[in-house]
Chains A and B, each alone.
Chain A
Amino acid sequence: MSLKRNILDLRKRKSEVLKGGGDKAIEKQVEMGKMTARDRILSIVDEGSFHEYDMFVEHVARDFDMDKKVLHGDGVIIGTATIYGSPVCLFAQDFTVAGGSLGLMHARKITKIMDHSLKMRVPLIGINDSGGARIQEGVDSLAGYGEIFFRNTLASGVIPQLSVILGPCAGGAVYSPALTDFVFVVDNISKMFITGPGVIKTVLGEEISMEELGGAKVHAEVTGNAHFYAASEKECFEQIKKLITYIPWNNTQKARRFEPKEPTVKTKIEEIVPADPKQPYDIRDIIKSITDGSEFFEIMEHFAPNIVIGFGRMNGDTVGFVANQPKYLAGVLDCDSSDKAARFIRYCDAFNIPIITLEDLPGYLPGVDQEHAGVIRHGAKILYAYSEATVPKITVIIRKAYGGGYIAMNSRHLRADFVFAWPTAEIAVMGPEGAANIVFRKEIDEAENPEAMRQQKIQEYKDKFANPYVAAARGYIDEIIEPQDTRRLLLHALQVSANKAISGPNKKHGIPPF
């Protein structure tokens, strides 16, 4: 009989905690267009798979009358679950409980599940919705953040870490997402900034709304802090689930293998690309004509669109794609696109995902703003990332491969495993126009009709150098292929590099141009 009483007592206690901040606070959360923390977790994971821990954790603050307050679970939910059968660890800050503010025990719950995910070598998903540090807990809050950041760094490159911003995430709190691999934002809901609009107005006199300062669109388009942008929480959860299918549980494993599929796109691959190297096209159409089921899961779609990154599958296995996008800024490399690609290359390398590079670029973006923004330092990141990566690295040169861009985009010289070129490829120090102006400057200047001479010299240069055969003669390119054979050759290249094993000199770590 007494056992039954104990069980009923437990149920009662649990049902109390499950109310979070209470009906009124939940009503407010819903009014803001947001789901509750628990509903969010349940929407992401497999039905019935979620198990919550530390439900009865209580805050320890005693000052400012905090001892009289009950904060269920101290404003954060932690637990384990599965997504399509893959194990994950999760935490979700509960805004209905003291605004999801972070105190000592709140942070301890987060670090507990982080430790668990690192120990068990499974991905970590963190849902952020918090007013920030709990002022009443003072320096304990700061200590809590520090302990989280340290673990983010420790786990980086070992387990995938996903941050989902579903509410405010301001001040020091933003550094946890910034240290993780993928950041998800939702329109009108996510707000991320170091210094809020209030302080900016007081100190600097600049007036700006929260949305304009650190809303989802800003981070997806301008800052590059967010990797996935969604119009609703529901769409965001679908993105998370999809991403989980493309990545491995940890750095010692490979991503899950799916049933191989042929591409479904029926357009002929060579018909996508205009013959004139100065005309644009959408490189994603090429990717989709290569991948299984013509599926391509793009990352950072709205930031630096002059380079395209994302996952696809080849013969059932995940592959990372890095591709110049002639549709935007002629596909040039610049500060933002170098930064975007370099980080993705390092992600793929850390998690055993082969990289396919599709190349078509005229070089680096010219401009004072680029030079002063440090295009040297940022551009170097992509060289560093490709050189350092030891996963299979395959390049297909579609059209232009000029100058520093040619070297940077996974060239043979940075230890690409295979470099293929279409017959339309042009591998040269620069395009015919620029080269002719320099090499034949004297002839052009001294000619009776300089413009006619210029055109003649451009044509001469074009005929001689604007092709893949000069580079092929040096062995810098392994094979010149017919476009229709691209998928077949890539599948073969991936197959024969599956057991690739190389090692560099011993070092503690490199010093990339961060």
Chain B
Amino acid sequence: MTEQQENLQTLIVHSAKYKTNYTKKYLNRKKWEPVNPNHLISFIPGTVLDVLVKEGDKVKAGQNLMILEAMKMHNQVLMPFDGEIVKVNVEVGAKIPKNFLMMEIRPI
């Protein structure tokens, strides 16, 4: 009891600060980050089969930007709005993990 009390952590519920121990799962929880509409993030790991745009290109909403092969499917990554390609972080043949920042875009 005494040795634990030295390492106790704080959990705040309704403005009250409780002394307690965190669980491993609580420590490993994912911190929330707001979605940035200008970031194209991979929702699944896969292989980049084709990159159809380059930095500085002006593209229309719905235009195909790249092909990501995952789960044996060729997934098209489409432009969500009329805009410009700011940065391309992928190249053909690259294997990318989940939640990888593939491209940065911006509306015009």
A and B, one complex? yes
Given A431-B15, A437-B15, are A205 and B21 also a contact pair (CB < 8 Å)? no
Residue of A nearest to B30 (CB): A369
A280-B21, A306-B23 as given contacts; A330 in contact with B11, CB under 8 Å: yes
Query: How does the 8 Å CB contact mask read for A290-334 relative to B, with 1 for contact and 0 for none?
Result: 000000000000001110000000000000000000111111100
Decide yes or no: A221 and B20 within 8 Å by CB, A204-B44, A368-B32 being known contacts. no
Q: Nearest CB to that of A435 among chain B residues?
A: B14
> A278 and B17: CB pair below 8 A?
yes
| A130 CA to B48 CA, complexed, in Å | 38
CB distance from A458 to the nearest CB of B (A): 9
Most B Cβ at <10 Å: residue of A222, A326, A329, A362: A329
B6-31 near A? 1/0 per residue, CB < 8 Å: 00100111111111111111100110
Q: Taking CB as reference atom, which chain A residue is nearest B8?
A: A280
A327 to B21, CA, bound (A): 6
What chain B residues lie within 8 Å of A204 (beta carbons)? 44-45, 70-71, 98
A304 to chain B, nearest CB (A): 8
Contact in complex: B14, A434 (CB < 8 Å): yes
Q: Which residue of A lies closest to B44 (CB)?
A: A204
Residues of A within 8 A of B21 (CB): 280, 327-329
**In the complex, chain A residues whose CB is within 8 Å of the CB of B54:** none
- Size class of the B contact interface (CB-based, 8 Å): 20 to 34
Q: For A329, give its contact among B26, B46, B95, B98 (CB under 8 Å).
A: B26
Query: Would A205 and B95 count as touching, CB distance under 8 A?
Result: yes
Q: Which of A86-140 contact B (CB under 8 A)?
A: none
**A402 part of interface (Cβ distance < 8 Å):** yes
Query: Least Cβ distance of B41 to chain A in Å?
Result: 16
Q: Given A329-B11, A363-B13, A336 and B25 touching (CB < 8 A)?
A: yes
| Known contacts A205-B45, A332-B11; A221 and B24 CB within 8 A of each other | yes
- Tell me the bound Cα distance from A206 to B71 in angstroms: 13
Can you give 29 A-B contacts (C-beta < 8 A)? A203-B70, A203-B71, A203-B72, A204-B71, A205-B45, A221-B24, A280-B18, A280-B20, A280-B21, A304-B23, A305-B23, A327-B20, A327-B21, A328-B21, A329-B11, A329-B23, A330-B13, A330-B20, A332-B13, A363-B13, A367-B29, A368-B32, A372-B32, A430-B14, A431-B14, A433-B16, A434-B13, A434-B14, A434-B15
**Chain B residues whose CB sits within 8 angstroms of the CB of A279 once the complex forms:** 19
Chain A residues whose CB sits within 8 angstroms of the CB of B19 once the complex forms: 278-280
A residues neighboring B (CB under 8 Å)? 203-206, 221-222, 278-282, 304-306, 326-332, 336, 362-363, 365-369, 372, 402-403, 430-435, 437
Give the nearest-CB partner of A363 in chain B.
B13
* A220 CA / B89 CA spacing, docked (Å): 40
Give the chain B neighbours of A432 by CB distance below 8 A. 16
Q: Which residues of A contact B95 (CB under 8 A)?
A: 205
Inter-chain contacts of A328 with B (CB < 8 A): 20-23
Q: Known contacts being A203-B71, A206-B45, A369-B32, is A362 close to B14, with CB within 8 Å?
A: yes
A383 CB, nearest partner CB in chain B, Å: 19
Additional A-B contacts beyond A329-B20, A330-B20 (14; CB < 8 A): A206-B45, A221-B24, A278-B19, A280-B19, A326-B20, A327-B21, A330-B18, A362-B14, A363-B14, A366-B12, A367-B29, A369-B32, A372-B32, A431-B15
Which of B4, B8, B16, B29 contacts A431 (CB under 8 A)?
Answer: B16
Residues of B within 8 A of A434 (CB): 13-16
Q: Which residues of A contact B26 (CB under 8 A)?
A: 329
Could you say which residues of chain B place their CB within 8 Å of the CB of A402?
14
- Greatest chain A CB density within 10 A among B21, B29, B45 is at B21
B97 neighbours in A (Cβ, 8 Å): 205-206
Chain A residue nearest to B32 (CB atoms) is: A368
Central interface residue in B4, B16, B97, by most chain A CB within 10 Å? B16
Contacts of B25 in A (CB 8 A): 221-222, 304, 336
Nearest 4 Cβ contacts at the A-B interface: A434-B14, A368-B32, A330-B18, A433-B15
CA distance A332 to B20 in the complex (A): 11
* CB closest residue in chain B, given A454: B15
Closest CB in chain B relative to A168 CB, distance in Å: 24
B32: chain A residues at CB < 8 Å are 368-369, 372
Closest CB of chain A to B81's CB: distance in Å?
25
A329 and B16 CA atoms in complex are apart in Å by 13
Find the B residue at minimum CB distance from A305. B23
- What's the Cα separation between A225 and B54 when bound, in Å? 47
Given contacts A203-B71, A205-B95, A332-B11, contact A362 B16 (CB under 8 A): yes
Q: How far, in Å, is B44 (CB) from chain A's closest CB?
A: 7
> Which of B11, B15, B29, B98 meets A369, CB within 8 Å?
B29
Q: Nearest-CB distance from A273 to chain B (Å)?
A: 12
Q: Which A residues are in CB contact (< 8 Å) with B18? A: 278, 280, 326, 330, 362
> In the docked arrangement, what's the CA distance between A367 and B20, Å?
17
A221 CB contacts on chain B under 8 angstroms: 24-25
Residue ID in chain B nearest A203 by CB atoms:
B71
Contacting residue for B13 out of A206, A305, A336, A366, CB 8 A: A366
- A367: nearest chain-B partner, CB-CB: B29
Give the residues in chain A near B4, CB-CB below 8 Å: 280, 327
Best-buried of A280, A282, A366 by chain B (most CB within 10 Å) = A280
Q: How many angstroms between the C-alpha atoms of A162 and B51 in the bound complex? A: 53
Question: Residue on A with the closest CB to B22?
Answer: A329
Cα–Cα, bound, A332→B25 (Å): 14
Question: Measured between C-beta atoms, what is the minimum distance from A171 to chain B in Å?
Answer: 18
The distance from the CB of B3 to the nearest CB of chain A, in whole angstroms, is: 13
Query: A280 to B17, alpha carbons, bound, how many Å?
Result: 12
Residues from chain B with a CB closer than 8 A to the CB of A332 are 11, 13
Chain B min CB distance to A310 (Å): 18
